[in-house]
Each structure stands twice: as C-alpha cells, then as structure tokens.
A and B are shown apart, each in its own frame.
Chain A
Amino acid sequence: MDVKFESWKEIIKDENIVFKKTKVLTDNVLSYCPGCGHGVAHRLIAETIEEMGIQDQTIGIAPVGCSVLAYEFFDIDMQQAAHGRATALATAIKRLYPNKFVFTYQGDGDLAAIGGNETLHACNRGENIVIIFINNGIYGMTGGQMAPTTLEGMVTSTSPYGRDPQMMGHPLRITELVAMLPGTYYVTRQAVHKPANVRKTKKAIRKAFENQQQNKGLSFIEIVSNCNSGWKMTPVEANKWMEENMFKVFPLGDIKVDGELVKEL
C-alpha cells in the first residue's frame, strides 16, 4: 500500500499536470445523468470565465430544466429564474450593470416553448448578453415529454406514437429564427459529444463572451446535446442517434457571425 501511495505522490506533481478542473466549477457532485451533455457545457463556460479572468464580474442565470441547480456547480453569483424567463432577468441585470458579464443557460423547453416570447424579444432588442441554449429535443427534467424541438416521428412520453407534425407542430428551429433578427450579433450551433466538437464549442463560448466584452451585442449558442435518460438509450447509443437524426434537422456550424448571416436559411 505504502509503495503505491508513494508512486501516486511522484506522479501528481505540478510539472506533470496537463489538466485541472477549473476553479470556477465547485466541487459539488453534478446532478446530471452520466453521459449527458450538460456537464461538459458547464465546464466549457466555467473554463472560459476563468481564462478571461471575469469570475468576479459574471452573473449567470439558470431557469427551470435539468440545469435548474446550475448554481450549485458554478462558483459565481447566480440567479435561478422561473421557467422560460431567464432572458428577461438577463436584460435587466445587463442594463443595470453594463460592465458585468451576463449569461443565461437554458433548455429547449425553457427557451423555445414557455420562454419563446422572452427569447425572441431579448434577441430582437439585441441585449448585450450571452445565451447558451441546450437543445436535447426533449423535456429532460420532467421525465421525457415532447419539446418544441422534438423531431418528427420521435417517441416521447407525450408523443407515445411519435411526433405527428399535423397534430403537434413541427420541430422549432428557433436558432435560425433568432439569426434573422437584426438584434443578434453571433448565432452558432455546436455540439459537445466528441473532443473536436468540444473544442469548437469552447471557441464559440469564448467568442460570445468576448463579443459581450466589446459591447457587440447578443450572442446565441445552441448546443445540440443528448438526453440519454429521456431518449431511453445508453450514452453511446444516444450520441450516435443524435448524429444520425438530430444533426439533420439541427445542422452544426455558424449561422451568423459579426452580425452577418453566413449561411442560407
């Protein structure tokens, strides 16, 4: 035992460290299901805040959804909002504290259904904030009901025979919608299921916070993510299903950069 312990001590030395959890994440155990994208998305935001040195100036807002407890995980000042209302809170905070960094972290039910109006108008006013939008095509927290982003034919607990667009509407591509508003400055769709995607998403988050720093206006980052629990799949199956099905309706890549559309909608 002692020998093992000593060898551990020899390896874990400052000069050998290649990765360390950012101090902007707390040590609380994440409440997310193993394999869920929420955890990675949290880490990327927290790392960006640390790297930019803005921990003491950042106010985060998490409304209702699986990420309702996000304030347990970010070591920054945070507000928990009513379901769908995060961008209204963010609007006021940013206008009252123009020098602080304000971001919202919202699920698809939250941002695109119950909070659709707040989302649209915050984007249309071009509030100088960052919106992180986790699209997993389902209501994770309440146990896998249909979301506005649920794919055609997709089975959920409230579309048990598959989503029928005639009866239940079409998957809502709210990211394309807000990209068309003059108020948005940067709109992109990313994913966090593979290292290459994680790196791209991190870059996008950094760009979004820098836009805010430079008073450029609203940055909107959709992260297409899995909900393996809600989809009733293993994490590996869920990521595969996401690539094969979600990315067809929600293709990855920048939609609007520096206030200009870079993709035909």
Chain B
Amino acid sequence: MGEIRLMMGNEAIAEAAVRAGCDGYFGYPITPQSEVLEYLMAENPYERTGMVVLQAESEVASINMLYGGGAAGKRVMTTSSSPGISLMMEGISYMAGAEIPCLIANVVRGGPGLGTIQPSQSDYFQATKGGGHGDYYLFVLAPSSVQEMSDFVKLGFEIAFKYRNPVMILSDGVIGQVMEKVELFDPIPRRTEEEIIKECPWATTGKTPDRERNIITSLDLDPIRQEKHVMHLKEKYDKMKEDVMWENIKTDDAEYLIVAYGSSARISQKTIDLARAEGIKVGLFRPITLYPFPDKELERLSKQVKGILSVEMSLGQLVEDVRLAVHDRVPVEHYGRVGGSIHTPFQVLNALKEKIVNKY
C-alpha cells in the first residue's frame, strides 16, 4: 500500500506531479488553485527529483512554457482556474495542432468574467468541445475526490504521451480545496534524456547526425496537407474512445438515473441514498472521462430507466452530451446551482422528484 496522507485536492495534484516524474511545472497564482504552486515552491522538488518549478508572468506564458518543454519531450504541467484557463486557450490550440503532450488542471470557479472564487462546473463546454480555435479536442478527466486528483496526474501523463495530445483535469473549487485521505502512488523516476529520445523520436532534443531534423509546428499553409493533418488528428480523437472511463453507482435496479461528474457526483451520491430511503429507485452514472464521453454506456443504461436528471453546477452544459447519448429515448432534465453556489443533496432530491419522478 502507498503512503497515506490527509491532503487538499490542490496539494494532492502537486505531490502527484513530483511522484509522476514530472519534469517541469509552470504556473501563475489564481484562487482556488494557488496551493499547487505554493506546495511545489515549498517542497522544492528540484532537490527531490530535479523537477523544475517556475512562477510564470501570466497564464499565456505558462502554457507556452508547456509548449516548449512538451515539444522537447518533457513531462510538463500547469494548473489554473477558469479566467487563467481562458488565457491559455491560444496555446492549448497550438499544442493540439502541433501534437504536444502536456497536462493542464482547471480548478473551476464560477463565471463568466472574473465571476467568483467559489466552485462551479461552468467550463465544461470549454474543456470538452475544444475551447480554443480550430478542430481539436482535449482528453478530459473529471476527478470527484482528492484520491482521483492524485491518480489522474499519473494517468494524465500516460494518456498525454500515448496520444501526443494535451490532457485536461477538469475539477472545481470543491475538489481543489477539500481535505481527504489520499493514498499516494509510489514515485516514478523522471525519464533520462536517452529514454526521452527513445520514447519521443519526434521531440526537439537536438538534431543528431543519425536523423533528420525534428520540427514542431501547427502550421501548414497547403490546405490539402493541412486537411490530411486534421484528419489524422480526428483518427486520434476516435482512438481515444479506447480509454473512456465511467462509474455506475446503484444502477442495476435503477428506474431513474442521475448523471453527474466531479463534485456534483459526490453530492448526488448522497441524493441517491436519500431517494432510495424513500423508495425511489435511482442510480448514478458518473462520467470520468468527459472527452471521450462515455455515451455507449449511458445509452445502454437509458434503456432501463424512465427519466434522467443531469446535475451540474452550470446552466446546463453536460446535459447536452447526455441528450445526445440517449437520443431522446427518455426524458432528460437539467438541475444545477450556478455562479459559485453549490447544490445540496436535498436540493438535488427535490429537483429529481419535481422534474423527473413526479412526471414520468
């Protein structure tokens, strides 16, 4: 068993980065995720593993530092919260186009604009539908516990290098700030330069006489070649479906279904217990990867239920993917508090009764 600690979600991400053999962290302070950079600065991982930590001058700079390091084959990551992630969109699009692996964690806060520093899930569209310009997708992981904040750092790096694509951990202010027990995985050593050259033959590590020069770019002015490149990206996005992840909770005998991810899934877990105590047979479907979305499994579950409530702290973003997955076969309604307010299990229960159980 790994080392057990009581940690904040943000601290768990930071500690997991050091343990996952991360080579460089570049970030800029913003609430509610500044603890990641603070933890790393205090921990001084350069002494522990040789990992570089740098406070950048902006999120624009941090994401472009990831571009430089990732394009040279290094395991690089950044964390931020909604306004900062918006600033990174240009760089993320470039990295998707140039096929550069990296890990980005968004500890979401309410918006739009400067919004609030309280938790929200209103960046779902931005994370799962591209976000920046152009035809691209990120691989998106949605942790719903401090444990997963740690585990998904390791997994995130694996996926980023498997697909040569940026990976986003989409959490929120609840998961970032809450303290929970976490079992830390055993440290993985940082890769040596020889290992990077072997595993990432595309990386700009210096043109040795035995190979052609490596060029990292998202530019190709020839539309026929650019089309070919975008179609190659599409094949990659299709292949990502191999790694789709979800969790079914009490769905075997469910007549109704709640779909929720991240902290809303934690809250809804309590709701299904409350509902079942009243005799309402409801289960919870928790997408763990938001892109690729686990639509096949949701479609399967939709065949056994009378109605679905999609619960998220937003005006209704996840609900669009839920509707697409179930093809109007069953009624799908949305419930969620917005602007940094968090729904309680009872509020979710009331919404479930009002919008679904009493109607269908």
Contact = CB atoms under 8 A, between A and B. Distances in A.
B26 A92 contact: yes
Interface in B192-210: 193, 204-209
Interface in B37-84: 52, 54, 56-58, 60-62, 64-69, 71-72, 74, 76
B64 A56 contact: no
A117 interface: yes
Interface of B: 23-24, 26, 52, 54, 56-58, 60-62, 64-69, 71-72, 74, 76, 90-91, 94, 98, 193, 204-209, 213-219
A85 to B, nearest CB: 4
Contact of A55 (B61, B207, B215): B207
Interface residues of A, number: 33
B58 A96 contact: no
B206 A59 contact: yes
A88 interface: yes
B211 to A, nearest CB: 10
A62 B76 CA distance: 21
Given A59-B72, A91-B68, A92-B26, A77 B91 contact: no
Nearest to B209: A56
A97 B70 CA distance: 12
B216 A78 contact: yes
A100 B98 CA distance: 22
21 contacts: A71-B215, A71-B217, A76-B207, A77-B204, A77-B206, A77-B215, A78-B213, A78-B214, A79-B68, A82-B91, A85-B91, A88-B61, A88-B64, A89-B64, A89-B67, A92-B54, A93-B71, A96-B23, A97-B193, A117-B60, A118-B64
Contacts, number: 126
A96 B24 contact: yes
Contacts of A75: 207, 213
A95 B52 contact: yes
Given A85-B67, A88-B64, A92-B26, A79 B216 contact: yes
A57 to B, nearest CB: 5
Nearest to A88: B64
A61 B68 contact: yes
Nearest to B217: A80
B68, B69, B94: most-surrounded residue (chain A CB, <10 A): B68
Where chain A touches its partner, the secondary structure class is helix
Given A56-B209, A75-B213, A85 B64 contact: yes
Interface string A108-121: 00000000011011
B68 A77 contact: no
Contacts of B57: 117-118, 120-121
A76 B302 CA distance: 55
B164 to A, nearest CB: 14
A55 B206 CA distance: 7
A74 B219 CA distance: 16
A223 interface: no
B82 to A, nearest CB: 21
A59 B208 CA distance: 12
A93 B204 CA distance: 9
B94 A82 contact: yes
Contact of A92 (B66, B208, B214): B66
Nearest to A77: B204
Contact of B71 (A68, A76, A89): A89
A81 interface: yes
Nearest to A124: B57
Given A56-B209, A96-B69, A78 B58 contact: no
Contact of B206 (A92, A96, A100): A100
Given A56-B207, A92-B67, A117-B57, 9 more contacts: A75-B207, A80-B215, A81-B64, A88-B64, A92-B69, A92-B76, A93-B204, A96-B24, A121-B57
